[in-house]
């Protein structure tokens, strides 16, 4: 099996209009860095022909891989499948809607090269409606207070990880938002890097008040419990 430096894993759900530009921009970002890479698009049960488009794009791109779920399983499942399938020593995740900018991937890789286990994006300047900006700021504050965290932007999907640190972590529904915390719980280090954010130009947002606020709060309580109940001990002597 070919050794690969970087795997980019992207969940896809009904994003047919964005895929061609997405693939082109990932290629443009990564082909300049002089390292081997692959792109994995995980179709989360789309019904708009997204996987047919992925199959078409793959015809002339040997570095492109596609996975297709039988039905919609959610963003955590799609992200987890991409992480599991990744062959790279480093794994980058981002959204398919082009609100995350693939041009920022090298910035995150710099953070990993500096010795961090994970580098996570911070969308300091959000191109969203006022309501979304305020709700996101409040949600980040609540998450950090409840989980005793300091991550500025837990909702940003643009993240990079050492594969050896992220692959062993078992994911549960909704846990993709808390990957930096899970990495820290396993002894890893995390840096935050300012990245750009763009308004959605194509397709329709998959988030609403239910899955953005209420469900994520339940997930947050699970993370709080995991941190509280984590086993912590030191071996005093071994013979």
Dihedral, CA atoms, 176, 193, 101, 46, nearest 10 degrees? 0
In a domain, 239, yes or no: no
Q: Averaged over 155-184, what is the pLDDT?
A: 90
DSSP letter at 14 equals: S
Q: Which two tokens stand for residue 38?
A: 């692959």
- Contact by Cβ (8 Å): 108, 160: yes
In a domain, 195, yes or no: yes
In a domain, 238, yes or no: no
- Structure confidence at residue 231 as a pLDDT band (50, 70, 90): low
Domain span holding position 67: 4-229
Rounded to the nearest angstrom, the gap between the alpha carbon of residue 58 and the centroid of all alpha carbons in its chain is: 22
In a domain, 118, yes or no: yes
* Residues constituting the chain: 239
Phi, psi angle pair for 102, to nearest 5°: -55, -25
Structural domain count of the chain: 1
In a domain, 172, yes or no: yes
Q: Which two tokens stand for residue 55?
A: 């199959």
Q: Which two tokens stand for residue 35?
A: 């390292």
Percent of the chain with pLDDT over 70: 79
> What is the reported pLDDT for 42?
98
Instruction: Tell me the pTM.
Output: 0.81
Q: Which two tokens stand for residue 198?
A: 């763009």
> What is the reported pLDDT for 233?
67
> What is the reported pLDDT for 198?
67
Asked if pLDDT for residue 27 goes beyond 80, the answer is: yes
In a domain, 19, yes or no: yes
In a domain, 16, yes or no: yes
110 burial level (CB within 10 Å; 0-12, 13-18, 19+) = middle
In a domain, 32, yes or no: yes
Domain with residue 73: its CATH number is 3.90.550.10
């Amino acid at each position: 099996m070919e050794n690969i430096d970087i795997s980019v894993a992207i969940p896809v759900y009904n994003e047919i209009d964005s895929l061609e530009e997405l693939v082109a921009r990932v290629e443009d970002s990564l082909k300049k860095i002089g390292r081997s890479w692959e792109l994995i698009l995980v179709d989360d049960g789309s019904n708009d022909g997204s996987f047919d488009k992925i199959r078409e794009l793959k015809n002339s791109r040997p570095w492109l891989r596609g996975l297709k779920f039988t039905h919609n399983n959610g963003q955590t499942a799609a992200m987890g499948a991409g992480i599991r399938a990744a062959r790279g020593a480093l794994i980058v995740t981002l959204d398919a809607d082009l609100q995350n900018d693939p041009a920022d991937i090298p910035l995150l890789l710099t953070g990993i090269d500096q010795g961090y286990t994970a580098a996570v994006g911070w969308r300091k300047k959000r191109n969203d409606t006022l309501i979304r900006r305020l709700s996101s700021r409040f949600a980040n504050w609540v998450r950090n207070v409840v989980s005793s965290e300091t991550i500025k932007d837990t909702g940003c999907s643009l993240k990079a990880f050492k594969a050896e640190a992220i692959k062993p972590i078992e994911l549960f529904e909704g846990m993709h938002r808390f990957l930096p915390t899970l990495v820290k719980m396993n002894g890893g280090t995390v840096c935050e890097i300012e990245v750009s954010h763009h308004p959605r130009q194509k397709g329709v947002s998959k988030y609403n008040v239910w899955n953005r606020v209420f469900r994520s709060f339940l997930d947050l309580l699970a993370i709080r419990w995991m941190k509280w109940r984590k086993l912590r001990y030191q071996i005093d002597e071994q013979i």
